[in-house]
Structure formats: C-alpha cells, structure tokens
Chains A and B, each alone.
Chain A
Amino acid sequence: MSLLKYESQLREPLVDGDKDYHQVTEDIIGPIEAKPGRLWYIGLSIALCLLLFGVYSVYREVVYGIGQWNLNHTIGWGWDITNFVWWIGIGHAGTLISAILLLFRQGWRTGVNRAAEAMTIFAVMCAGQFPIFHMGRVWVGFYVMPYPNSRGPLWPNFNSALLWDVFAVSTYFTVSLLFWYSGLLPDLATVRDRAKTKFRKMFYGLASFGWTGSTKHWQRHESLSLVLAGLATPLVLSVHTIVSMDFATSVIPGWHTTIFPPYFVAGAIFSGFAMVQSLLIITRKVLHLEDYITVGHIEAMNKVIVLTGSIVGIAYLSELFIAWYSQNPYEWWAFRQNRVNIFSPYGWAYYGMMFCNVVSPQLFWSRKLRRNITFTFFMAVLVNVGMWFERFVIIVTSIYRDFLPSSWSTYYSPSIWEVGFYLGTFGLFFTCYFLFAKYFPVIAVAEIKAILKTSGENYKVKMTPTEKMDAEKFYIEEVEHAH
C-alpha cells in the first residue's frame, strides 16, 4: 500500500458524498440498467435525423461528384477540410486526458477520461469522413494504401504530408480504440456480473472478454495502460503536427510557416477540452453523476482551456508579427489584406476567431467564473465556434486570393450539401455518444474505486487524525502494519 493514501487536505475531494465501493458501482452502472429517459430518445432521434441528412448529402456528392460542393478554382479546400481539422482537433482532448494526465499522475482524470476517450474515437470517425469523401471517387479510396498492385505497381508518395495524414489518423484511431476498449474491459465485466436479463448477460459476457479481476491480469492491465499512454502521448502530438504539415509543407502564403505544429496542437487541445466540457456538463446532469464529475473537475478543465487558449493567442500574434517582420510581400499581403483587414471578404471570420479563442477565454482567470457551470457551458460552445473559425480562416483566407488577381472575385460560401455533410457528422457523433452513454459505463468505475480512499470526500474527512500523527508513529501504525 502506498503512502499516496494520505493526500493533502488542501486538495478538493474528487468524489463527493458518502461512498463505498458498492455505491460507486451502483451510481455509475445504475443508469445502464435503468430504462432510458424521454430526453435520451429525443436526443437520439435528433441525432439520427441529422445523420440521415448527412448520408443523403454524401450520397449526392458520391453520385453527382464534387461539383455538389461550392468549391471553386482557387478554393479546392473549403468546409470539408475545415471540418476535418476541427473534428481531429476535438479528439485530442480525450487522449490528453487519458494518456498525458495518466503519465503526470493527475487524479482528477479518472472522473472524465472514459467519456473523453469515447469522444476522441467518435470525433476521429467524423474527421475521417471528410478527406475520404473529398477524394471524389471514393470507391478507389484504397489507392492511398501502399500495397503491391496491378497499376505499375504504383506506390503512393511517401514524401507527401497528405499520405502521412493517412497513416497518422488511422494509427491514432486504432490506438485510441485499443486504449479505450482495454480500459473498458473490467467495467464491462462489472456490468456483466450484475446483469439480470439474458440478453445483457450474453452481450456484456461477450464484450468483457471473460475478465475475472485476477491480480496477475490487473498487473498486466496496468502495464498495458501505462505503455499505451506512453505511446499515445507522442502519437497525439504527432497527429496534429502532421495535420498542420498538410498546410505548412506547402508554399501558400499564410500556410508556409514553421509555427504551425505547436500552434495546431495547442489549438486542438483547446477545442477538445471545450467539447469535453459541453458533453460532460450535460452527461453529469442527465445521469446524475455530479458526485463524480464535480465542479472541481470542471474547474481543472477550464484551467487547461485558459492555458491553451493563451498559447493559441500568442501563436496568432507571433504569426502576424512574423508575417510583417519577414518582409515577405506575399505573406504580409495574406495577413494584412485577407485577414486583419476587417472590410475584406473574410475579415469577419478573423475577428470572430480572435474574439472566441483569445479574448473570451481570458475570463476564466476568475475562479468564480471557472466554477460556474452555466457560464462554462456557454464558453465551451463559444470556443468550439472560435476554433472552427480558426481552421476556416487558415484554409479559406489563404487560398481565396491566389497569385492571379483575375480569380479574386470568387467568393466561397458552402452549398447546402456541404453544410449537410457537416451536420451529418454531428449526427454520427451524437448517435455514437448517446449509444455509448446508455450502454457503456461513462465513468471508469475501477479507476474511481482505486482513488476513492485517497480522494473521496468521506475518506478525506477521516484522514485528518492520521495526518496529525508524527512520522514515527505513522510509520509503525500504517506502513509496518500494511506490509
């Protein structure tokens, strides 16, 4: 037993209320066994409608071609790649919480990691749709895979950042899925062992792979989680780095900058945390999990938001400064005329981005606002809108005025089918999330139990006499006794 058992009283409890191990199981597994409420059905129906609209939009794109979208000669990437980068960025928070905070031994991650990882997987699924369908002839999408083929053999270009993306996103999806599911196994076994109905016994029996909770298995499981976290940490940084290289390795003014990788990664975590906030604020309310996802958790995530928001702000300003300082006329033009000039066609997007991402999150320096749930929800939505603007600004304002001024008059706005595709991914995301929240434990039950006696409210109260003990007595009574 480790000395970590005696956590400082100054730290807020991570689990509120009077809980024991069984109560934790009841609270988290209970909603899975109960009938879903009316809100769940309404939510799922809306999500399914959006999904169907998305499917129809994609159907039109596949049948009639890319012309269904309002892309034009200079704007080859519009809403689709904007949405791709946005969704991929959203996913990053899940891996940050589950992997990086595991390595940093942040106890509060246990309350939010499961839902955040699920969000990662669904967000990456949504992201993947955009480049795939942007190919136009999606039925030959497998050409991106390097395999000995009858076309020459014609290999993909391994120097291309777009191909790196294929590898990065598919690896990211696979590793996140493995990490998430291996963490789910013990909790699914808990659901299985409590199951009353025949179907539930069979379903969770299959899903939990026959997990028993053996000490040896736990030991391997811990080792597996730790190494997967160690692998996922550089992986998550690499994914958005590579996504940023889609732009940075080109020679387009506004894209060709070395600041992109760190700037994109910070932005990804920023937007991802905002999405985690908006999902969890609803989830904790609907499933009555306020004791596990406490205001302390929300505050901790708001701290990450203000940090990453400020990093993003510095990145915007450095980018702008360097555009001027570099004395590169094309680069400076792209910034001065196409972005900073509020009267330019897309000036509104640049200032929208600045307001949502840089100015508004600064309000989170106030502790009172960080701990205000309604305000946090509002801010989370604002940040996600802002981060969408950021990708739109980067993509569209850099390419809508190319090197040939005669093509400058074309103003790009999306067609209904482009918007429909985006809405469709929302449908996909929320359909998956609703099903997840109903049929899987949204909080890592085993991990909560592991921190319960160090960070649970009722245990922290009892800890006080121990803390008052002098070191020698403490060692004799607690450490010797334990071993």
Chain B
Amino acid sequence: MRKKFVVGCFDDEKVLFPAVKNVRRAGYKIHDVYTPFPVHGLDHAMGLRETSLHTVGFIFGLTGTSIAIGGMGWIFTTDWPLNIGGKPHFPLPAFIPITFELTVLLSAISMVYTFCWLCKMMPGVKKHHFHPRATDDLFVMVIECTAKTNETEVQSFLQNNGAIEINVQEAEDGWWFGRYDKEQKLYRTEEVGY
C-alpha cells in the first residue's frame, strides 16, 4: 500500500536516541529506523518487543532430536534389526553424535528460514529504500503520516531534534518481487496479494 512518510536522517547515534524518545513522546508514529549497523538499545528505545526467533530454533532443535532418536531406533529395532557384532539394537551412546548433529542442523536451518520469512527477505525481493546511505553512514528515521499528521510540523520537529536531512516521500511500505537494476515490478500488486 502506498503511504506518505516523513524521513529524517541523522549522522550520529547519540543524536538519534533522544530524537527517537522525543518523537515517541510527541505521539508521532515511527514507521521504522534504518541503521547501517545494529545500534544496541534502539529497539528498546523504539518500544519494540523482544524477538522470539530463538524459540523457533528451540522447537525445531527438539524436532531434530526426536527425528534422529526415533528414526535410528525404529530402523535398528523394528524395520531391520541388524546384528552388528552382537551389540544392542538400541545403543543410545552410539546414537548421540548423529542426534546432536541433526538437532543443530534443524535448529539452524529453521532459524535462518524463519528469519528470512519474518523479515520478508529472499533473492528477488525488493523494498522501498528511504535513503541509499542508510546502509552506509546515516541513521534514517521514518515517520508515517496519518490523516491528521501535519507534515511541516513533523519536519520542523525533526529539524529541532538534530536531523541533518529531511524530506517527505510517498512509498510502498511492503515488499514486492523486482530487480534492483530495474524500476518496474515483476508482478502486479493484485496478483501477489499482499
């Protein structure tokens, strides 16, 4: 969906922190803050909740453990009980290495997959970038305009809070399939249905 945003760029995280705080106190809606590196504590300052990505890792890790123990146990006791030097059919210590590896494997793959899914990231995905230097040296605060928002007021507010560059942009806030060397989208909005 196309929306209107006021974009303020900061060149120092020390200025950004109080600005985020003031913007929130003034009641403006922060769409997002784009930073070139993880700024610690910014998520708390913006009032974002803690991510629960690690829970996914834990659940899929347990799945890996069960698949490994269950699978090897079923194969060696039920499907094809093979006599290997008269050793037990369910030797738990000998199953530990593979169980551990599958736990780690499933946990890691699922977490990376979930990360990409939550952040809507994939080769071929394109999003609106509010400032090309957001991945270089600028901290870009984006404020979403609602029907009631007075844009000039927000702009002067950002100015007073130390933004070095301020502009208003009308942009798509979701993602779409596209190439970074071309402007047009690969699919029309209605077809993707986001």
Contact = CB atoms under 8 A, between A and B. Distances in A.
Interface in A167-182: 167-168, 171, 174-175, 178-179, 182
B129 interface: yes
Interface hub of A157, A158, A194, A218 (most chain B Cβ within 10 A): A158
B29 interface: no
B87 to A, nearest CB: 7
A234 B100 contact: yes
A449 B17 CA distance: 17
B101 A22 contact: no
Interface string A146-163: 100000111101110101
A168 B97 contact: yes
Interface of A, helix, strand, loop or mixed by DSSP: helix
A178 B37 contact: no
A327 interface: no
Nearest to A449: B37
B132 interface: yes
Interface string B130-155: 00111111001000000000000000
B5 interface: no
B109 A178 contact: yes
A49 B16 CA distance: 53
B39 to A, nearest CB: 8
A213 interface: yes
B126 A210 contact: yes
Contacts of A1: 13-14, 17, 40-41
A482 B38 CA distance: 16
A163 B94 CA distance: 11
Interface stretch (B46-54, B158-166, B186-194): B46-54
A482 B17 contact: yes
B70 interface: no
B71 to A, nearest CB: 7
Given A146-B71, A190-B136, A174 B129 contact: no
Given A446-B36, A482-B14, A223 B136 contact: no
B111 interface: yes
B97 A223 contact: no
A201 B180 contact: yes
Nearest to A245: B97
Interface string B16-51: 011001000000000011111111111101101011
Interface in B63-98: 71-72, 75-76, 79-80, 82, 84, 87, 91, 94-95, 97-98
Given A234-B100, A238-B100, A215 B42 contact: yes
Contacts of B43: 215-216, 218-219
Contact of B137 (A25, A157, A182, A207): A25
A161 B98 CA distance: 10
Interface string B91-130: 1001101101110110111011001101111111111010
A218 B42 CA distance: 10
A22 B136 contact: yes
Nearest to A213: B34
Contacts of B126: 205, 210
A47 interface: no
A171 B41 contact: no
A22 B133 CA distance: 9
B32 A171 contact: no
B135 A213 contact: yes
Contacts of A152: 80
Interface in A208-250: 209-224, 227-228, 231, 234-235, 238, 242, 245
A180 to B, nearest CB: 11
Interface hub of A217, A228, A482, A483 (most chain B Cβ within 10 A): A217
A245 B101 CA distance: 15
A228 B98 CA distance: 18
Contact of B135 (A153, A189, A201, A207): A189
B22 to A, nearest CB: 12
Contact of B136 (A153, A164, A194): A194
Given A21-B136, A213-B34, A199 B51 contact: no
Contacts of B127: 210, 212
A215 B35 contact: yes
Given A164-B97, A213-B134, A218-B35, A231 B107 contact: yes
A209 B17 contact: no
A467 interface: no
A159 B71 contact: no
A221 B111 CA distance: 10
A32 to B, nearest CB: 14
Interface in A346-395: none
A435 interface: no
A194 B135 CA distance: 9
A153 B119 contact: no
19 contacts: A1-B17, A163-B98, A171-B101, A171-B105, A175-B108, A179-B108, A186-B37, A209-B116, A209-B121, A209-B125, A214-B32, A215-B39, A218-B37, A218-B42, A220-B115, A224-B115, A231-B104, A234-B100, A238-B101
Given A146-B71, A158-B72, A178-B108, 20 more contacts: A2-B40, A171-B105, A174-B108, A182-B115, A185-B121, A186-B37, A190-B36, A192-B180, A193-B133, A202-B179, A206-B180, A209-B125, A215-B32, A217-B121, A219-B43, A220-B115, A221-B38, A224-B112, A228-B111, A231-B104
Interface of A: 1-2, 20-22, 25, 146, 152-155, 157-159, 161, 163-164, 167-168, 171, 174-175, 178-179, 182, 185-186, 189-190, 192-195, 198-199, 201-202, 204-207, 209-224, 227-228, 231, 234-235, 238, 242, 245, 446-447, 449-450, 481-483
Interface of B: 13-14, 17-18, 21, 32-43, 45-46, 48, 50-51, 53-54, 57, 71-72, 75-76, 79-80, 82, 84, 87, 91, 94-95, 97-98, 100-102, 104-105, 107-109, 111-112, 115-116, 118-127, 129, 132-137, 140, 175, 179-181
